[in-house]
Structure 1
Amino acid sequence: MTDRETESVRSDEVAERESTAAEASNSARSIADEQADSFFAVGDAGPTTGEPAIGGGRAHARIVEAAVVPVEDVPTDYPWELRTDSALALTVEFPGGTQAITYVEYRENGQDPRFARVLEVAGPRYGSYADLYGERLLLEVVDGYWVPYVPPSGPRGSPVGAYGVWFGLAFNLLSILGVIVGGGWLLTAAWFLLAFLLVNVLLVPAATLTDAWYLESHTDWGHAPLFWATCNAVPLLNVPVSAWYLATRMGVRSINGR
C-alpha cells in the first residue's frame, strides 16, 4: 500500500469517527429536549387535582412533571393561597414510586415568593421551569396535602460552625477533668483562664449561631438560633447545652435532600 493510499484510509477512519460522535451528540440533545418538552407543558394542560396525602410528616420527593393549569383547577381546600390566574402543578415522586401533586403560583415574570425561597436554598439554577426536572425537594403535609417545606429565612450561616461547638464541648470537658485531677491549679493559671473565656464567651456562642442559622435555613431543624447561642454563652451551662444542641442536629432533613 502506497503512502497516499495509507493517508486516504486514515482520513476515512477519522471522518467516520467524527460522524459517529456527531450523531451521538445530536441524539443526546434530542433525548434531553424531548424530556424537557414532555416535562413542562404550558397551556392546555387540562384539569389537574392533587390527591390528599396519607399520613403526615415530611419527606423528600423528586420533581417528575410540571404543567400550568388555571387556578380554578386547584382544590379549594389546598392550604397555600394562590393569588395568580394560573398555577404551576408539580408532580413529585416519593421513594417507592408514589406520586403526588403540589401547586405554587405561576408567574410569567418572577416566581412564587415561597417557592423562590425553596429554590434559593435547594440550589437549582435554571433558565426555564423545565430545568427543575429531577430536582429533589422537601415536602410536608399541611391540611392533607403535600406542599413544599419553606424555611423561615433565606440561605445564611454555615455547617462549619458545628465543628466549633464540638471543639468547645471537648475543651470544657477536658478542662473540668483537668481541674478535678489537678486539684484546681488550672484555675490559677492566667493562660487557662484566658483560653477558657475566649472559648466559652466568643467561640462557642458564635459557632452555635453560625451553625444554627444554617440549620434553620437549609433544613427542617425548627429551633431558635438565638436561644441556643445565648445558652451556649454561659460557661459550664454550655456543657450540657452543647451536647443537647448537637443532638438536635441528628435526623434533620435537608431542603434539597442531599
Structure 2
Amino acid sequence: MCFWNEIFTSEPVCSPPSLNAPFMTERELERTTEADESENSDSDRRDAHETESDFDGRDPSREYDQSADSFLDLEAAVSPESLSDSETYAQIVGTDRVSASAVPDSYPWSIATADALALDLEIDDRGTEVTVYFEWPVPDSDARLSRLLGTLEVSPDAVADLHGKQVLVERADGHWVPVVPPQQSAGSPLGFYGLLGGVLFNVTVLTAFVLNLGVSEGLLLSLFMVFNLLVLPVSTFLDAGYLRSHTDWGGPFSRWGWTILNAAPGLNAVTALCYLSLRRRASWIRKR
C-alpha cells in the first residue's frame, strides 16, 4: 500500500505487504510445486513396490523355481560326489550276486569273472549308501576279496556273514572302495606287547646304569642281548606283518626293514620309538 508523504518528499512511500496477504511470491510458488511433485513421485514408487510384491507372492513359477533349487541343494549334500576324499568307515548292509556287466565302466577295479559280488555299504558319518564290487567267485587266495575276507575273519563260503561288519573305505577314481590289505592275514597282535616290553626293558637298563643301582652286570648283559637280539626283532616282525594285513599302514620301510633296524642294539632305542610313533597313525581296516 502506498501513500504520499507530503511533509518530507513528493515520492510515494510503499509499506511492506501484510503477512496475511492472500498471495505468494514466484519463488514460493516454485518451492510448493517441487514439493508436490516429489510427494507424488514417492507415492508412485510405493504403489509400484506394493504391486510388485503382491505379484511375486502370487507367482507360482517363482515358487516352483525356489522349490527346485532347494531340492537340488539337498541332493548335492547327500550324493557320494559331495563327500570328502578322506578315509572313513562304512557298514556292510547288503550282499548280492550280480552280472559283471552291471559293474559301472568307471569302476576303478577290473572284474574279470562272469559274475561279481556286490556289497552295499552305508557310510558311517554320512548316512549315504554306495555299492562296491568284487570278482565272484573268488579267483584265488590273493584276490582282493580273499584278502579282505581274511582281515575280517570271514570264510569265502559264508559271505553272508559280512552283513553288519564295518570296514575302512577310501575314494578311488570318484568311487568309494574298501581298503584292501596288500597281503593275506599275517603276523600276530601279540607282537605289539613284545615290542613294548623290549622298549621298556632298554629304558630300565639305561636307568640302572645311570643311577648305578648295583645290579649284576652279567645278568644285565644277558638280558640285554636276549631282548635286543631276540624279543625286539621277532616282536617287530610279527607286529609289522599284522599291521600290513589289518590296517592301511605301509610305513617308510618294509616288514623286514623294521625288523633289521630294531635288531641293532643301541640304534633300536631310537628306531623302536619311531616305529611306535608311526604305528599310531594307522587306521584299522575292520573298525574296532
For the Cα contact (< 8 Å) 1:126–1:132, is it kept in 2? no
Tell me the alpha carbon deviations over residues 64-120 of structure 1, each in whole angstroms, 9 at most, x when there is no partner: 123333323322121101112232222101213122111112339989921121011
May I ask how many residue pairs the two structures share in their alignment? 207
**Match of residue 55 from structure 1:** 84
**Match of residue 191 from structure 1:** 219
Equivalents in 2 of 1:80, 1:253: separation in Å?
22
Matched, 1:66 2:134: no
Matched, 1:79 2:108: yes
Matched, 1:231 2:261: yes
Question: Where do 5+ consecutive residues of structure 1 fail to align?
Answer: 1-49
Shift of 1:51: 5.0
| Cα RMSD, aligned residues only | 2.6
Shift of 1:128: 4.7
**Match of residue 124 from structure 1:** 154
For the Cα contact (< 8 Å) 2:146–2:156, is it kept in 1? no
Shift of 1:52: 4.9
Structure 1 range deviating more: 174-183 or 116-125: 174-183
Structure 1 residues 53 and 116 mapped into 2: Cα distance closer, same or farther (>3 Å)? farther
Equivalents in 2 of 1:197, 1:234: separation in Å?
10
**Match of residue 150 from structure 1:** 180
Structure 1 residues 129 and 161 mapped into 2: Cα distance closer, same or farther (>3 Å)? closer
Q: In the alignment, residue 266 of structure 2 is paired with which amino acid? A: L
**SS of residue paired to 2:263:** coil
**SS of residue paired to 1:246:** helix
For the Cα contact (< 8 Å) 1:52–1:146, is it kept in 2? no
| 1:7-156 alignment runs, 5 A limit | 52=81, 54-96=83-125, 97-107=127-137, 113-125=143-155, 127-156=157-186
Equivalents in 2 of 1:142, 1:53: separation in Å?
14
Structure 1 residues 94 and 111 mapped into 2: Cα distance closer, same or farther (>3 Å)? farther
Tell me which structure has the larger Cα radius of gyration.
2
The structure 1 segments of at least 4 consecutive aligned residues displaced by more than 6 Å after TM superposition are 108-112
Structure 1 residues 235 and 146 mapped into 2: Cα distance closer, same or farther (>3 Å)? same
Shift of 1:59: 2.1
Tell me the alpha carbon deviations over residues 187-218 of structure 1, each in whole angstroms, 9 at most, x when there is no partner: x8222211111111111111111111111111
Equivalents in 1 of 2:156, 2:124: separation in Å?
24
2:208 corresponds to which of 171, 178, 184: 178
Equivalents in 1 of 2:222, 2:85: separation in Å?
50
Structure 1 range deviating more: 215-224 or 52-61: 52-61
For the Cα contact (< 8 Å) 2:141–2:147, is it kept in 1? no
**Bigger relative contact order, structure 1 or 2 (CA pairs below 8 A, ≥6 apart):** 1
Matched, 1:205 2:237: no
**SS of residue paired to 1:137:** strand
Structure 1 residues 178 and 239 mapped into 2: Cα distance closer, same or farther (>3 Å)? same
**Match of residue 194 from structure 2:** 164
Equivalents in 2 of 1:174, 1:208: separation in Å?
20
Tell me the alpha carbon deviations over residues 166-199 of structure 1, each in whole angstroms, 9 at most, x when there is no partner: 111111112122222229x76x822221111111
**SS of residue paired to 1:101:** strand
Structure 1 residues 147 and 112 mapped into 2: Cα distance closer, same or farther (>3 Å)? farther
Structure 1 residues 111 and 242 mapped into 2: Cα distance closer, same or farther (>3 Å)? closer
Sequence identity (%): 35
**Match of residue 8 from structure 1:** none
